[in-house]
Each structure stands twice: as C-alpha cells, then as structure tokens.
Structure 1
Amino acid sequence: MGHCLSCCEEQRLAQYNGQAKNAPVSRPLNKPANKQSYYEDHKHAPPPSYTESSDSLQSERTQKGMFNPYPKLPPIRTKSAQNGDSKRQSMSSGFSEAKIVALFERYKDPEEDCILADGIETFCADLDVRPEEFRVLLLAWNFQAATMCKFTREEFTNGCRTLKVDSIKGIQGKFPEMLTEIQDKQSFKDLYRWTYKFGLDVDTGQRTLPVEIAISLWSLVFSIHTPPILKRWLDFLDKHPSIRGVPKDTWDMFLNFSDSIGSDLSSYDDTEAWPSLFDDFVEYENDRVNQNVLDDDPME
C-alpha cells in the first residue's frame, strides 16, 4: 500500500524548508533502486502550487482506495418551502381546502356547526336537484352522512376531499360518476345497506326503521333499478298499519328476496329462513291473486 499519508506529508514539508537534502527520501514504488532519488531528480523543479498538490493528493488517495468522497447531501428544506410544496400539491389535486371550508360555511346553521334541513334545502337548490332525489342520496352516501337532513363539518369536508371537489360546479360534475359507480352490484349493495342506517334517528337512539320512512327509502334507493315486486311490497306495507317498523335483517334480506323471488312469487320457498314478514307478504299476494281469479270466473 506504500507509505502512510503522515510520512508523505513530513517529507514534503522538509523539502520546502531545505531540511531534507541529506535525509534519505523514500523512492516511489515504480522507481528502480539504482536511479537517483526522487529529490535529486526534481531538486531544480519549482515546488507545486497548493492547488496542484491538493488535487494530486486527492487523486492519489482516490486511486488507491484510501479516500471516497461523500455524495452531495440534499439541501435542507425550510418550513416555508415545505408549506409551498403542500400548497402546490393541493392545487394539483384539483381542490382547495380553503374553498371546501368556505363552501361548508355558506350552508352551515348559524347556531350549530353542521348543515341542517334549511341549509340542505338551499344546498340542493344550488345543485339544481330536489332533496328527495336519488342523486342527493348518492351524495349523502359519498359523504357517509350518519343521518338524514344533516351534514356535520367532518362529513361534508371529508366527503368533498374524497370526491376531490370544492365547489357546486365540481359536485354537479361528479353526479354522472356516482351513477356509474352504483351500476356495480357490490357498490349498490353497500349503498343499500347504508341507507337503512341513514334513515334512523340516531339522536333518539332509534334502532328500527319506522315503516313510513322505510317505504320512502325503498322507493328512493330503487329509483334506478326497480324490482318487479317493489310496488306490491310497498302496497302491502301501506295497507297493514299493524306493521310499525322494519328490522335491519328484513331490510338487508329484501335485496336478496327481490332478486330471487321473481315477479309472480312462484319460486318462493317458505321453508327457507326468510323473515316472517316475507311469509305474510307472499300469503297476502297469493290470496289477493286467487280472489281476483274467483271474482273474474264466469261460472261464479
């Protein structure tokens, strides 16, 4: 590996001070022993400049594997630069946090930190939709609203972030995308099951959906894809005032029931584990159909 770096440095200093004329100087490894010393060969040469000696020393160290310069460190990011990057990212994402907050404040109730019935009515008017319209239900689902006629600050702002919108025009532009999304069977199932919780009055601890609310929500959630038996099912509920509430399992299973039962109820199997309300409905429908056949029979 040759002489150490400290020896080379001492010899260089001794040469400049004139103290090394009679001192033995180590010959470079590539010089034969019978040649004149390195000092004698170069005693009349001008001393190297500081820049040249530093560059040559560093080059020698690098070639011998004795010195590996560190890579350049990245510049330190200041707080102001980080904030600027955050603003640029917000702009590139297509929405502004400040505009989302301002949009919420436009419809917020003056006494509560949420949008209530009056604010939602104004909100829907600006969106050019009716509050009872299916698109409003889709918007509430995307906002993951906990209850009807109310958007909390968190629900509204998080919903706008999810949709990447910060204006009325932006929300309007998302309606076609929302309608396309629920064409997927699993997405519609998620919407359908969420709708039950959406209809409950959480402030009073309600756990069963009142039948009149259930009828309205069934009509609303099936606005696009209407099962053949939906109208008869809703008529059955409306004509039986003794049915005051719809349990969650009945609501959830109606989706499978409406898909599998067919339009004439002929495939209904009462031995399966259907809710008892479905048994009552099928029995009622069969009696009604049979009664109509008897009334129309000319032999009567």
Structure 2
Amino acid sequence: MPPAYTAQQKAAITQFISFTNLDRNAAIRVLKTHNWDSQTAVNSYYSGGSGVTGSTAAKTTLNKVFDKYREDATGEPDGVGIEGTMKYLTDIDVDLEGLESFAVSEIVQAPAMGEMTREGFVNGWQERNCESIDKQKNYIKTLKRELPGNRELFERVYKYSFTIARAANSKQAPLEQAIAFWELLFSSPLSAIQWKSASTPWLDWWKEFLETSFKKSINKDMWNETLKFAKLTLEDENLTFWTETSSWPSVIDDFVEWVKNEKRGGAKEEVMDEEY
C-alpha cells in the first residue's frame, strides 16, 4: 500500500511535477531530500541538484543573450534599460502589463522598473536551467499556470514587487504607483490572492481609503503588512482578528475604522457619546 502523504506534501508533489515534468516517484524522491520544500527542490533540480549553479557553457550563453538587449554596450555594459527590457519581455511572450512581468522581475532581481542587470539576469536564469530564450519562454508558460494556485510563489513575487515600485533612490513607493501595483497584484487572473469577496470589495475600498484619507508614500513594512492584512480579511470578513492592541501599521488601524464607519454603518455618534 503506498504511503499516505499530507495535503501539504501532495501540493508540493503537484507543484514540483508541473515545473519539472518528472514522474511522481522521481518527484517524491527529490522532495524528500529537500524536506518537502517544493521551491528549493525545483531550484536544486534545475541547477543539477548539487547546489552549484549551472555550467560555464550555460553562463556564457546567458551572457550572450543579455548582451543582445543592451542599449549602450560601451557606457552600460552590464545593464539593460527600458527599451531593451521591453523587447526582452516581448521576446519571451510576457504581457508587459500582466502579473507575469512582475514575476520575471523577481527572477532576474530587477533593480527598478524596466531595468535588468547582468548579474541578476544570468544568476536568475542559470538557477532555473534556462539559458536560452526558448527555455525561458517555456518556464514562463509553466509559471503562469502555477501562479493562480500557488500562494507561496505569488507572495514571493508580491514582496519583490516593492523593489520596482519604489521611486528612484528612495526607500518608498509613490502612492499612485503602489495603488497601480496593488490593482494588478490583487485582481489579475494570475493572482493567487484575489482581494475581494462576494460581499466585500476589499481592494476597491483600500484604494478609495488611501486616495481620500492617506495620501502618503508607501514604505516596505506597510507593503508587506498589507499582504498579511489582505489574507486575513479573506478569512475573516468581520475583522475580528483586528484589535486596538494589535501591532498593525497605523494606516491599517485607520482603514479598519474607516470600513466600520463609512462602509458598514458604524455609529459615530455612539463613539462621541462615550467621550462625555
């Protein structure tokens, strides 16, 4: 009788097979050696399983691919700007306005929107054993199938997206940019976390609140805490997980009060009466 696997282990098996096309038994053997961490197992599989990234030949090939997209080979030999990045994304069949473009930014560790570095590009694709444009296109196809059902992968893309949302030479993202990014991250068909429910348009409320009541730049802590808050609201629409003593950023505290008073008919007069 085959051994019983937990739901988490079964999900890891499915994820690993979808990325590698290995048979189930081979997938289980690899996952067991990596403590059932599917992402680590996938990366190890594509790098040869030794923890050492791919061959010198693969690295050479990736450098040549990178060189094709440089706009200024003399002045910026190790960088690709907006024009080259857009051409590259088009070549690997990435929707420039789609969530998969954020996923590619995470893979190549893009330093800013529409930019790539040689180190990030070569290391990111070498770890995934994708040294050619065709292999990268196939990897993205698989990733797009995987994203909607893989919260771990989505959350990694979400958190990295703050890097490219930031203003130049700043640790903060402009509010307008952050809202545009949230719109894509939380409503794309590829998103594993759709921030809305049948009775509560959370994302729409969040944007409305920020545009009318916040009007400030977004820091990394607020960015990451928004993801945590979004997940909890989808599990508990009544917000019972939130208390006045919780360690949420003040903007989320204010948003909760705004939702209760402005969207759910909270009685402001009762709050005033308590002050007398």
TM-score by length of 2: 0.63
| CA deviation map 1:117-176 (0-9, x unaligned) | 011111122222222211111111111222221101111111221121222221110014
How is 1:138-153 mapped onto 2 (pairs within 5 angstroms)?
Answer: 138-153=103-118
Q: Is the 8 A contact 1:95 1:166 kept in 2?
A: no
Mark the runs of 5 or more structure 2 residues left unpaired by the alignment.
1-53, 197-201, 268-276
Which of 151, 159, 163 is 1:193 aligned to? 159
Counterpart-to-counterpart distance in 2, 1:255 and 1:109:
36
How is 1:1-300 mapped onto 2 (pairs within 5 angstroms)?
Answer: 96-110=58-72, 111-113=75-77, 114-179=79-144, 180=146, 183-201=149-167, 203-204=168-169, 206-222=170-186, 223=188, 224=191, 225-228=193-196, 229-240=202-213, 242-262=214-234, 264-267=237-240, 268-290=242-264
Give percent identity, aligned residues only.
Answer: 24
Cα displacement (A) at 1:210: 1.3
Q: Is the 8 A contact 1:93 1:164 kept in 2?
A: no
Cα displacement (A) at 1:290: 4.7
Counterpart-to-counterpart distance in 1, 2:177 and 2:238:
25
SS in 1 for 2:106: helix
Cα displacement (A) at 1:115: 0.9
Structure 2 vs 1, CA of residues 181 and 232 (structure 1 numbering), >3 Å: closer, same or farther?
A: closer
Q: Is the 8 A contact 1:265 1:282 kept in 2?
A: no
Q: Is the 8 A contact 1:94 1:165 kept in 2?
A: no
Counterpart-to-counterpart distance in 1, 2:123 and 2:115:
14
Q: Which amino acid aligns with 1:112?
A: E
Structure 2 vs 1, CA of residues 176 and 128 (structure 1 numbering), >3 Å: closer, same or farther?
A: closer
SS in 2 for 1:279: helix
Cα displacement (A) at 1:277: 0.5
SS in 2 for 1:122: helix
Q: Is the 8 A contact 2:165 2:173 kept in 1?
A: yes
Q: Is the 8 A contact 2:260 2:266 kept in 1?
A: no
SS in 1 for 2:68: helix
Aligned length: 199
Counterpart-to-counterpart distance in 1, 2:111 and 2:148:
20
Structure 2 vs 1, CA of residues 218 and 94 (structure 1 numbering), >3 Å: closer, same or farther?
A: farther
Cα displacement (A) at 1:195: 1.9
Cα displacement (A) at 1:116: 0.5
Mark the runs of 5 or more structure 1 residues left unpaired by the alignment.
1-91, 294-300
Cα displacement (A) at 1:291: 5.7
Q: Which amino acid aligns with 1:200?
A: R
Counterpart-to-counterpart distance in 2, 1:176 and 1:216:
24
Counterpart-to-counterpart distance in 2, 1:226 and 1:266:
17
Structure 2 vs 1, CA of residues 152 and 135 (structure 1 numbering), >3 Å: closer, same or farther?
A: same
* Root mean square deviation of aligned Cα: 2.8
TM-score by length of 1: 0.58
Q: Which amino acid aligns with 1:127?
A: I
Cα displacement (A) at 1:182: 7.8
Q: Is the 8 A contact 2:81 2:116 kept in 1?
A: yes
SS in 2 for 1:261: helix
Q: Is the 8 A contact 2:102 2:157 kept in 1?
A: no
Q: Is the 8 A contact 1:143 1:156 kept in 2?
A: yes
Counterpart-to-counterpart distance in 2, 1:181 and 1:292:
37
Structure with higher RCO (Cα < 8 A, 6+ apart):
2
Counterpart-to-counterpart distance in 2, 1:290 and 1:230:
16
Larger Rg: 1
